[in-house]
Amino acid sequence: MASTALSRLSNLRGHLQPSNSNYIGLVKLSPEVSDAISHGKAVVALESTIICHGMPYPQNLETAMEIEAIVRNNGAVPATIAILDGVPCVGLTLEDLERLAKLGSQVQKTARRDIAHIVAKRRNGATTVSATMFLASVVGISVFVTGGIGGVHRHGEQTMDISSDLTELGKTPVAVISAGAKSILDIPRTLEYLETQGVCVAAYGTDEFPAFFTEKSGCKVSSCIDSPEEGARLIDANVKLNLGTGLLIAVPIPKEQSASGSIIESAIQKALKEAREKNITGSAETPFVLTRVNELTGGASLASNIALLKNNALVGSKIAVCLAQLREHGHIGCCLPGV
C-alpha cells in the first residue's frame, strides 16, 4: 500500500514554493500565499492536525497534497497552516508537508491555548481548528476548510468538556467549511453552544446539520445556502457588519460516500465505552475513538473522512473564489472552474 501511495505522490508534485518568505509579525507566509493575499486572490486555509493525527503515513501526505490540488484546480490558493520550529507558517512547501507527515503524532496537536507555548519552546505544532482560525485571521484569510469541528462532548453537561473550536468561532471572523461536528460529539448541545456564542450556522444545500460521517443529524439549522455565491455573500455580510464572529458552513458528505449511519454509530458507542474503560479523556479521546471506529468499520470511516475532506475543499474553494470576485468587483462573475 505504501509503495502504491508513494508512487501516486509523484503525480501531485508541483507548485513548489521558493525558500524566501514574508512575515506578518511572527507569522511566516509562503511567497505564493503572500502574493495571493496582497492581490486580493482567493485563498483557502487548511489545518495540519489531519496530517499528523488523522491518518498514517504516507496516506496523510497523499491526502494533504490531493486537497491542496483540489483547491488550486478550483481557482484558489491553498494555505496549509502549521508551526515549524517555533514559527507559525501559513502556506507550506512540499518538504514541509513531508516532514509533518513523517513525524506524525510526534508533532504536538496545537489549539489556540498552545500557540504561545509551542512558539516559545521552538517546537512543531499541528494546528487544530481553533489555532488555524486564529492564524488565518492574523494574515487576513477569510475561508478555512476542514473535516469537522470539535464540539460539546457527550456528557459535557457534567464534564464541561467543550472544544475551543466553539469559542474561537464566537470571536474570530473566519468562515469554517466543514462536514458539521464530529459524530462522536453531542450535536444538539454543540449547536446550542454556538447559538450562545452568536455564531451563524448555515447548512449547504439542506436545512439539516450534517453529522460528519452521515448527511443528517436530526438537528435543523436556521440558515441554509444553496451555492458558492450565497456562501460568499454570507461571509461578506458577516465581515461588513463587523459582527466579530466566525461562520460555520456545514457541507453534508457526498451521498455516494456516506458510510452507513447505523454501522458507524454502533462502532462509536463501542469505541466510547472502550475509551471510558481505559480512562482516555480530554484531547486524547477524539483521536482514540476515531481510530477505533476506523478499525471497527474496516476502514470505512477513514474512507468517508477523506471523501468529505475533498468535498469540503471543493465547496470551500468555490466560495473563496466568489468572495474574492465580490470584494474586487462588487459582484460575482460566472468564471468558477467547472461552472
Q: Which residue has the higher pLDDT, 170 or 261?
A: 170
The predicted pLDDT at position 68 comes to 98
Element (H, E) at 262: helix 261-277
Place of cell 451563524: 200
* Cell triple for 177: 467549511
**Does the pLDDT at position 24 exceed 90?**
no
Q: What is the pLDDT of residues 28-76, one digit of tens each?
A: 999 999 999 999 999 999 999 999 998 899 999 999 999 999 999 999 9
pLDDT at 10: 47
Q: Which of 32, 47, 98, 229 is catalytic?
A: 47
pLDDT score at 132: 98
Peptide bond preceding 31 in cis form (omega within 30 of 0): no
Q: What does the pLDDT read at residue 182?
A: 77
- What is the C-alpha separation between 290 and 297, in angstroms, rounded? 10
Q: Measuring CA to CA, which residue among 64, 34, 11 is closest to residue 309? A: 64
Alpha helices by DSSP H, 104-227 = 115-120, 129-139, 156-159, 164-169, 187-196
- Determine the Cα–Cα distance for residues 317 and 196; give it in Å rounded to an integer: 29
Q: CA-CA distances (angstroms) from residue 292 to 35, 104, 198, 212?
A: 42, 18, 34, 16
Query: How many angstroms separate the Cα of 37 from the Cα of each of 29, 49, 199, 204, 245?
Result: 10, 23, 25, 26, 21
pLDDT, position 161: 81
The structural domains of the chain, ordered by start, are: 1-141 (3.40.1790.10), 142-331 (3.40.1790.10)
Q: Which of 160-169, 263-272, 275-284 has the highest mean pLDDT?
A: 160-169
d(CA 265, CA 263): 5
Q: 59: which residues sit within 8 A by CB, 6+ positions away?
A: 1, 5
pLDDT of residue 159: 72
Mean per-residue pLDDT, 173-189 = 91
Question: What average pLDDT does the segment 283-303 reach?
Answer: 82
Distance CA 162, CA 199 (A): 15
pLDDT band at 299 (very low <50, low <70, confident <90, very high): confident
Q: What is the mean pLDDT of residues 182-199?
A: 92
Question: What's residue 213's pLDDT?
Answer: 83
β partners of residue 80: 46
Asked whether 215 and 184 are in contact (CB, 8 A), the reply is: no
pLDDT at 16: 38
pLDDT at 278 over 50: yes
Question: For residues 31 and 90, is the Cβ–Cβ distance under 8 A?
Answer: no
Contact 185, 167 (CB under 8 A): no
pLDDT at 320: 98
* Residue 277: partners with Cβ closer than 8 Å, 6 or more residues away: none
Comparing 288 with 239, the larger pLDDT belongs to 239
Q: What percent of the chain has pLDDT over 70?
A: 90
Give the mean pLDDT of 108-129.
Answer: 97
Task: Judge whether 216 counts as a catalytic residue.
Answer: no
More confident residue, 211 or 85: 85
Rg of the chain taking only CA atoms, in angstroms: 19
**Predicted pLDDT of residue 20:** 54
Q: For helices 261-277 and 285-296, what crossing angle results, to 10°?
A: 130
Query: Taking residues 118-122, what's their average pLDDT?
Result: 97
**Catalytic annotation present for 182:** yes
pLDDT digits (tens, 9 = 90+) for 129-167: 999 999 999 999 999 999 999 989 877 677 788 899 999
pLDDT in tens, 141-150: 999 999 999 9
* Selection from 7-11, 275-279, 296-300 with the highest mean pLDDT: 275-279
**Is the CB of residue 33 less than 8 Å from the CB of residue 85?**
no
Choosing from 28, 109, 182, 318, which is the catalytic residue? 182
Cβ–Cβ under 8 Å, residues 186 and 154: yes
Residue type, 132: T
What was the pLDDT predicted at 2?
46
**Backbone phi, psi, residue 273, to 5°:** -65, -45
C-alpha angle 144-136-288 in degrees, rounded to nearest 5: 60
Taking all residues of the chain, what is their mean pLDDT, rounded to a whole number?
89
Q: What is the 3-state secondary structure (H, E, C) of 143-162?
A: EEECCCECCEECCHHHHCCE
